[in-house]
Structure 1
Amino acid sequence: MPFLDRLQRWADDRPDETAVVVAGTRLTWGRLRDQAAALVPAAPAVTVLSEHNSIRFAVEFAAAVAGGRQCAVLDPAWPVQLQDALTARIAGVGHAGPDPARTPVLTRGTDLVDGPPEASFLIGLTSGTTSVPKAFTRSRRSWQESFDASIEFFGLTQADKTLAPGPLAASLNLYALAECLYAGAEFHTLDHFDVGAAHAAVSHDGITRLVLVPTTLRLLSERGLAGGVDASGISSIICAGSKLDARTLEAARRWAPNATIFEYYGASELSFVSGAGLRPGEAAEPGGTGIGKPFPGVDIRILDDRGAELPDGGDGNICVRSGMVSNGYLWGDDGEALRCFDGWYTVGDQGYLSDGTLHMLGRRSDMIITAGTNVYPHEVEMALASVPGVAAAVAAGMADDLRGQRVVAAVVPSHGAVTATQLKSGIEDVLARNKRPLEYFALAELPLTDRGKISRQLLLDWVNGNDSRIRRLG
């Protein structure tokens, strides 16, 4: 079961209280239950949901996972041709084979009830190295265990009002919606992201909890400070997607002084892995790669490529064992996307453990080998992001006849100019000498892919092509 039994309970106990708010439009627990139940008889075994944020999204999602049904949530911003291709593939899921976790089983098909715990209910789509997203499945039990773990870790209560201002088609926000339905807590989102609308929700709707990515947190915090938006009522901020840089953390703490700021490491295929909460007034580790302790119910090991456990401080594959891991892939698995070593699962992210804290280094494919030393760009970027005057940083490995590769780094200044001397002195106590960049550049903008992700190859292309968006620092 993911959340429908809980939805029925809240609808019985508190039918007239607000469950979901989208762009100011409210839906009570009773109406959410009734509207979703009305859609169940016509709901197919597998629903493809491609819709912008709306009250209807929440209703349709609840109906789409009733009984033994499955739901695939597509980004409505994807090209029509891609959506059509994915819909055609998903239509064949019911013939995926004898695995009961992958085969829809409709139980009490006209009722708004949860299906078998081990049966799949969600077809997740994650971008890969190709233009066609990979697809994996999740069981109801995996999300129930995830809910129990995240509610305990983040301290979610029924008194909380959560704002997740991003698209519900994104897994972070879809999970936040379902988590609130499970916990009986009020969920808020916007019909599209708008800084003013998010600030209005914080100011007027009594928001106590934010769920968002670091770039959005920084935007809301900096503009909130400039505009005098009161965020003192926010008690928790949950960030995912990348580790918080120093500037974002500073702005968030000033804007929401009473909030505990959580960051965590996880993956679509693994769910939650580790996390940490920085309480008001608690000092942060500058430039650190630590991403907290294991989540409740999660065991972490660092294994080499043969599956042998590495000692404390040794870097290798971050592997987890928990009941929150997905069922695996329907398509797109190249054998590396989700590997298993005798019950320990990894998506190939590299890191190490030190006194029980997980340190995230990044993907092996990003690793720079310079003069025999392994350097992960993430380490360099986090160190540079802690330097005053740096808004963002990108590091990459450039071909070098002597070293094999040399580390180069580029920064977006937060204000005014920044010099190479400032950057060098700023990371002296944070980054080992053999991992420090040999060249520094200033950026007018970040090198991003068409999907909005940092592209280190594009950075190298800009350097080699003397692009106008990049300038060498002396």
Structure 2
Amino acid sequence: MPFLDRLQRWADDRPDGTAVAVAGKRLDWAGLRDAAAARVPASPAVTVLAEPNSLDFVVSFAAAVAGRRRCAVLDPTWPPELLEGLRSRILAAPPGGMGDLGASAGLTDGPPDTPFLVGLTSGTTALPKAFSRSRRSWQVSFDSSIEFFGLTARDRTLAPGPLAASLNLYALAECLYAGSEFHALERFDVGDAHTAIAHDGITRLVLVPTMLRLLSERGLAGGVDASGLRSIICAGSKLDARTLEAARRWAPSATIFEYYGAAELSFVAGAGLAPAGAPASNAGPEGTGIGRAFPGVDIRILDGAGRPLPDSEVGNVSVRSGMVSDGYLWGDDGEALRCFDGWYTVGDQGYLADGILHLLGRRSDMINTSGTNVYPHEIELALASVPGVAAAVAAGAPDGLRGQRVVAAVLASHGGLTATQLRAGLEDILPRSKRPLDYYVVSELPLTDRGKPSRPLLLAWIAGNDPRLRRLG
């Protein structure tokens, strides 16, 4: 793992400086090094971690990737039978899929091309796919993201979500690599996050849009001082207008970064959205635009046969970089991660225009209605711009006449929202063929276990007449 040699350096240079803080409990650089080093001899060749956030988690993770060791980090909230099945499968994985299983002594980084991390796609019931990452791939990612986000040793990063999520686990390792102080909570709590931001000198947030919306809106209402934030890094989906506006008001000095990446690909493209009051030319890409390529990343749009497509034509978003994973240990159906002569894609659809990547969503999410291909992401962004809409989720429901019909659910920012208002709000934004036929209002968004909008869950709510949603006439 490429942060252990750096950890030794920071422990020598500033042994008493805070390295990690979780829920107010702290470890300095020397303490973290010594605790992890003491645990290395008992760490097996392959470790499976399924623990809530704690300092002990950080120590265990550092020891679990020392030398040639490998670690798989599982979400402890997943069902026990799923966790046990994954644990058994990971520990029984053949050497050919995991590399050399020999464990070396000492808290040192292993050879760059050796695998160190077993990544899992998110899941709650179905078996997640597992993929492998080399130490070199994360070191390249560190160098790229530190340059792109402007991380310095003076920053204090708060990642308020679970360390089992790849976004937060990466932020932890990135900070250890950069010699930058990292903070986490025992579990996500708005009040605890506000306390850390206001009193611990936090300068940088790493989180998903739903968390940012909660922190911003409640922070504004409660007068929580976020003027010390200089950067906010948001991943999972493009920020809607309401969340962005609230975040800019709450943290007026922060550059807000949104980016596109995938667990198997690492970083692909992104943009830094300027603080409030900055020139409009620095406001960031509009609509479906997500930004330009990360340092060290090349982007092409390829068709299903791997042929390059011209600008503005929709196809597979494909990348070439040193950050791409080593591929799947299991779960590969031949489509999840495809390679075309060195260009990798996970099937996300998009197009390039003037160097800006426009992201439309997964091919599997695409709605085919009356012969027209519609991407839910386009609909969700359009609905989020309608007054009275806090957030939206769109999906394709089965339809005997059309094949699929476009349906959408909105989370209202105030009462009294009607289908007529939603239809009127989309008239000048979306073509008629892409507009929803059915609208629902929800008391809460249907989300995955990682806090992302879930279109399958929305369809399940509709089919089951779930009390959390109501159809609008």
Q: TM-score, normalised by structure 1?
A: 0.94
Structure 1 CA distance for aligned equivalents of residues 66 and 459 of structure 2: 49
What is the letter of the counterpart of residue 9 of structure 1?
A: R
Distance 2:168 2:449 in 1: 21
Q: Deviations over 1:52-98 (max 9, x none)?
A: 111111111111111111111111222332222222212123x332x
Q: What amino acid does structure 2 have at the position aligned with 1:30?
A: A
2:254 paired residue number: 259
Which residue of the partner structure matches residue 272 of structure 1? 267
Moved more, 405-414 or 230-239: 405-414
Change (3 A) 1:467 1:28: closer
Contact 1:287/1:430, CA 8 A, preserved across alignment: no
Q: Following TM superposition, by how much is the alpha carbon of 1:467 offset from its aligned partner in structure 2, in angstroms? A: 5.2
Equivalences, count: 469
Shifted more, 160-169 versus 39-48: the winner is: 39-48
The aligned residue for residue 243 of structure 1 is 238
Question: Alpha-carbon deviation of 1:195?
Answer: 1.2
Q: What residue in structure 2 maps to residue 104 of structure 1?
A: 101
Report the Cα distance in structure 1 between the residues aligned to 2:444 and 2:157, rounded to whole angstroms: 32
Q: Which residue of structure 1 aligns with residue 66 of structure 2?
A: 66
- What residue in structure 2 maps to residue 75 of structure 1? 75
Compared with structure 1, are the counterparts of its residues 82 and 438 closer, same or farther at alpha carbon in structure 2 (3 Å cutoff)?
closer
1:418: how far off? Answer: 1.6
**2:310 corresponds to 1:311:** yes
Cα distance in 1 for partners of 2:456, 2:400 equals 19
Residue pair 1:286, 1:430 contacting (<8 A) in 2 also: no
Contact 1:286 1:386 in 2 (8 A): no
Residue aligned with 1:210, SS: strand
- AA in 1 matched with 2:370: A
Moved more, 415-424 or 458-467: 458-467
User: 2: CA distance between counterparts of 1:78 and 1:395?
Assistant: 26
* 1:165 and 2:164 correspond: no
Distance 1:57 1:130, change over 3 A: closer
Equivalent residue in structure 2 for 1:214, among 198, 202, 209: 209
TM-score for the superposition, normalised by structure 2: 0.94
Q: What residue is the counterpart of 1:115 in the other structure?
A: 110
Mark the runs of 5 or more structure 1 residues left unpaired by the alignment: none
Counterpart CA distance in 1 for 2:158 and 2:269 is 22
Matched to 1:49, the amino acid is L
- 1:95-150 deviations in whole A, cap 9, x for unaligned? 332x7x733343xx221110000000111111369621211110000000000000
Distance 2:428 2:421 in 1: 13
Structure 2 partner of 1:438: 437
What do the CA deviations read for 1:326-348 (whole angstroms, capped 9, x no partner)? 00111111111111111111111
What CA distance in whole angstroms lies between the structure 1 residues aligned with 2:11 and 2:441? Answer: 55
What does residue 20 of structure 1 align with?
Answer: 20
Q: Does 1:35 align with 2:35?
A: yes
Q: Which residue of 2 aligns with 1:84?
A: 84
Q: Which residue of 2 aligns with 1:336?
A: 335
Aligned-pair CA distance for 1:431: 2.3
1:390 — aligned with what?
389
Given that 1:160 and 1:207 are in contact with CA atoms closer than 8 Å, whether structure 2 keeps it comes out as yes
Aligned partner of 2:119 among 106, 115, 124: 124
Question: 1:367 Cα shift?
Answer: 1.0
Alignment partners' CA distance in 2, 1:452 and 1:240: 11
Matched, 1:150 2:113: no
Structure 2 Cα separation of the partners of residues 146 and 287 of structure 1? 26
Cα 1:450/1:163, change in 2 over 3 Å: closer
Over aligned residue pairs, what C-alpha RMSD do you find? 2.0
Q: 1:451 and 1:28, CA in 2 relative to 1: closer, same or farther beyond 3 A?
A: closer
Structure 1 residues 451, 151: CA separation in 2 closer, same or farther (over 3 Å shift)?
A: closer
1:51 — aligned with what? 51
Which string of whole-angstrom CA distances, capped at 9 and with x for unpartnered residues, describes residues 396-424 of structure 1?
A: 22444554333232212111222233223
Shift of 1:242: 1.1
Aligned to 2:377: 378
2:423 pairs with 1:428: no
Closer/same/farther in 2, CA of residues 189 and 125 from structure 1, 3 Å limit: same
Pair 1:291 & 2:286 matched: no
